Chain A
Amino acid sequence: MKSQKLVSIFTVILKLSLFVNIIMGIALITVAIHSTFSPTTYEKLEIKRNSYFFKHSCSSEISKNQIYSDSKSIENSGKEIYYFTKQDVATRISLVFSTLILLTFSLLVTRELLRFTSSLKNHQSMFLNSSKCFSRISIYLGIIFLFVFIASLIPLEIVSSFNEGGAIRTVSTKSFSFNVDFGLIVLLVFSLLLSAVFKEAERLRSENELTI
Chain B
Amino acid sequence: MSNLLPLLAGLPLLIFFISLFVPPKQERALTGIVTGGLGINLLLTLLMCFYADWQFLDQKLLVLYHTEHFEFSIRVLFDKFSAVFTMLGAIIILLVSVFSRYYMHRDPGFRRFFSMLLLFYSAYNLLIISGNFETLFIGWEILGITSFLLIAFYRDRYLPVRNALKVLSYYRLGDICLILAMWMSHHLWHRNISFSELGNTGEVSNLFSQHYAGAMFVAVMILISAAVKSAQFPFSTWLPRAMEGPTSSSAIFYGSLASHLGVFLLLRTYDYWSHEILIKAGVFVTGLFTVIVAGGTGRVQSTVKTQIAYSSIAQIGLIFIEISQGWHTLALVHTCGNAFLRTWQLLVSPSVLNYLIHDMFFHFKPGPRLRTATLTDRLRNALYILNLREWNLDRLHYRFLWTPFKAIGHRLNFLRGRTGFLLSGLCLLAGIWLLQSKIVLPEVVLRLSVLFYALSGALMVLYALAERESPVSVWIHAVASQLFITLSVMLNSEVPASQLIWYLSGSGVASVAGYFALRWLIVRESDVHLQRFHGHAYEYPRVAAVFLVCCLGVSGFPVSPTFVGIDLMFTHVDSGQIVLLLLLAVNFLFLELCLLRMYVRLFLGPHQKEYHEVAFRAS
* A associates with B: no
Interface residues of B (CB under 8 A from A): none
- Hey, which bits of chain A sit against chain B, CB under 8 A? none
